[in-house]
Amino acid sequence: MANYLGIDVGSITTKMIVINERDEVLAEVYLRNNGRPLEAIQQGLESISSRLDGETSIDGAATTGSARHLAAYLVGADLVKNEITAHSIAVIDLFPEAKTVFEIGGQDSKVIVLREGVVVDFAMNTVCAAGTGSFLDQQAARLGISIEEFGRLALKAKQPVRVAGRCTVFAETDMIHKQQIGHSIEDIVGGLCDSLVKNYLNNVCRGKEILSPIVFQGGVAANQGIRKALEKELETPLIVPEHFGLMGAMGAAKLVKRAKPFRTLFKGFELSRKSCSTRGFECSECENQCEVVELLVDREVVACWGDLCEKYRKSSGPMIG
């Protein structure tokens, strides 16, 4: 049976998942990048490999996420897709009746509007990261609690306070002020969740027709406080998928499964044990002055991008869509 690898490399986390032809999940991994996406991809490949049977082959690989091109050249992807497409495909396959998708990740958040299994509209946050995973992690750390406890405390709020949620800086300043005048941690955290949800709905979802059923995914879907605040504000229950944090990777895997590459470009799990790095330079051959990036594996240049004239670029590569 053929097996397919989906990789989603975002700004904060790297997610990987392997599915077979029956869409059964064979292995998955969710880990933090810690500012080193190359190392995170290698670590993810090693972790995925350890979870698979030694005889399991990969017949197709696809990447998505903000670092999808870097990941594609590194691992040898057959397909590269944007996050909207990947997340939508995963939802449509699992919940064909879904009409709205909320996806909140490490540093971005998005809304996708579906009608009869087709994407008809979408939007992403632009400047502010208030309400995303990195901001919630930061506030939990400042309060000296885990992100899991953060969500549980929000559920215990008896009188959530009003917190400025339209900006990360203002939100943090307002939280500190509320602590100093004596409000409980539970009410502050609960108020922050309410404010961040209103910010998301009033900004990212502005002008969008939000209809049920609504699927809530991304790493922040694990936060019970945010989930409860969304359901309270919308007055409707949300669908949270089993693999809510890996839906982008799952969508990528499903897309490459549909593409059925004749011969995969995937370089194998041995890549996790090789030396990988990048280096950049500015080309002065013409007035474009392109900022060119080279990817090196075991000190050999295996890929190059950023050159508008494609002078340095290698001919073979993934399908980009």
- If asked whether residues 56 and 156 sit together in one domain, one would say no
What pTM was estimated for this model as a whole?
0.88
Q: What pLDDT does residue 28 have?
A: 96
Give the residue among 3, 4, 12 at the shortest CA–CA distance from 77.
4
C-alpha to C-alpha distance for 143 and 154, rounded to whole angstroms: 13
What is the number of structural domains in the chain? 3
- If asked whether residues 78 and 17 sit together in one domain, one would say yes
> What residues have CB less than 8 Å from 195, skipping those under 6 apart?
162, 163, 164, 165, 171
Token digits of residue 235: 């007055």
CATH code, domain carrying 224: 3.30.420.40
- If asked whether residues 229 and 100 sit together in one domain, one would say yes
Q: What pLDDT does residue 153 have?
A: 87
Q: What pLDDT does residue 198 have?
A: 87
C-alpha to C-alpha distance for 184 and 181, rounded to whole angstroms: 10
Q: What pLDDT does residue 314 have?
A: 63
- If asked whether residues 208 and 108 sit together in one domain, one would say yes
Q: What pLDDT does residue 128 have?
A: 63
- If asked whether residues 7 and 48 sit together in one domain, one would say yes
N-term to C-term CA, the chain: 26
| CB-CB contact of 216 with 109 (8 Å) | no
- If asked whether residues 148 and 167 sit together in one domain, one would say yes
Length of the chain, in residues: 321
Average pLDDT along the chain, 321 residues, taken 10 residues at a time: 94 94 95 90 95 89 93 94 95 96 87 96 76 77 82 85 71 78 86 86 90 94 91 95 95 96 92 89 87 88 84 62 54
- If asked whether residues 284 and 300 sit together in one domain, one would say yes
Amino acid letter, 30: Y
Q: Is 1 strand, coil or helix?
A: coil
Q: Which helix or strand (DSSP H or E) is residue 184 part of?
A: none
- If asked whether residues 110 and 235 sit together in one domain, one would say yes
- If asked whether residues 101 and 236 sit together in one domain, one would say yes
The DSSP call for residue 167 is: -
- If asked whether residues 71 and 133 sit together in one domain, one would say no
C-alpha to C-alpha distance for 251 and 74, rounded to whole angstroms: 20
Q: What pLDDT does residue 91 have?
A: 97
- If asked whether residues 210 and 111 sit together in one domain, one would say yes
Give, in order, the Cα–Cα distances in Å from 229 to each of 104, 109, 200, 201, 226: 14, 16, 11, 11, 5
What is the edge-to-edge ordering of all strands in the sheet holding 300-305? 276-282, 291-297, 300-305
- For 294, the domain range is 276-320
- If asked whether residues 65 and 132 sit together in one domain, one would say no
